[in-house]
Amino acid sequence: MALLRDIFIALSENQMLNDASKKVGLKFGTNKVVGGITIDETIERFKDINGQGMSVTFDNLGEFITEKSDAINEKNNILNMIQAIDDHGVDASASIKLTQIGLNIDYDFCVANVREILDAAKAVNMFVNIDMENYSSHDKTVHIVDMMMEEYDNVGTVLQSYLFNSPENVYKYKDNRIRLVKGAYKESPQIALQSKDDIDAAYEQLIRIHLTEGHGFTSIATHDHNIINDTIDFINEQGIPNDRFEFQMLYGFRKELQTELVDRGYNVCVYIPFGNQWYAYFMRRLAERPQNMNLVIKSITKDPVFKTTAIGSGAVLAGIAVYKLFSRK
């Protein structure tokens, strides 16, 4: 399955397929894992999730932008969503990617965009999480995160357990609000763990350190019920109060587990992406769990657009073929 994961990650980075996918809307099962194309329809998903006793963090889909005009458009999408959340009174925070708002264009331009987003969020008492992306943007992202943490009290970031420097950084951010993830990009053995067992063990260690060594809030972002159960056992042993942590899961995944955790009295936050740049996000979800391709196959067999739209079908056919090939092994 490691090779299959690498192939899906490669597909997620294919610009031609990313561009093509924008022309067909939410098709091929993606409506199960993406909140919507527009702000209005996504706000309705937020309300539904809130009604189930869970909070939301939103992600305006899109990354690795290279034109200032595009970065400004994406920044404005984020600002508009922040305003809509306040207007509708929903319980939601923001998750932003710096390559979407100018990191690969101009450093100062990106910093100015981040400040504008943080100012808007602070005005409505909203938290903003600065996501970590692939390692090529890591150092610049950390530098901006550290700068923003000195200026704002409504900002946090992400630690990826597969990176070798995460054990050091979990102490650095022990008093900050941090999301802990395993990591969803293909990184080299020189900078990141490669085996699932090693990544899982590192992930559990990060959780325990951040829960006990400082005063920060810990967002535990995983669908792995074994890790969740182990973490709950540790939390009970250490007497950690529920207001110090939350479990985060992706929209459309392990919904029954989300509900179970809420029923048990734990805080649950659902990560909901929105927008038309769904392809890279969806392919990385398949890389994490290739069995999710079943969503695509089931949707395609019922969707007449697949038969008539070469652009749309081309954006997913490669992934389906690869999945079918490797699932037989």
The residues assigned a catalytic role are 131, 179
> 202, 161 in Cβ contact below 8 A?
yes
User: 95 phi and psi, to 5 degrees?
Assistant: -125, 125
126 Cα distance to chain centroid:
18
Query: Crossing angle for the helix pair 310-327 and 2-12, nearest 10 degrees?
Result: 170
> 167, 205 in Cβ contact below 8 A?
yes
> 272, 45 in Cβ contact below 8 A?
yes
The number of residues making up the chain comes to 329
Ramachandran area for residue 33 (φ above 0: left; ψ -120 to 50: alpha; else beta): alpha
> 57, 94 in Cβ contact below 8 A?
yes
> 324, 4 in Cβ contact below 8 A?
no
5: tokens are 């994961």
Buried b (16+ CB within 10 A) or exposed e, 219-231: bbbbbeeebbeeb
- Residue 91 neighbours by CB under 8 Å, 6+ apart: 46, 50, 55, 56
Query: Measured on CA atoms in the order 319, 320, 325, 328, is the torsion positive or negative?
Result: positive
Instruction: Write out the E strands in the chain.
Output: 55-60, 92-96, 128-130, 155-160, 178-181, 218-221, 245-250, 268-274
Nearest to 326 by CA among 296, 287, 299, 300: 287
- Residue 232 neighbours by CB under 8 Å, 6+ apart: 266
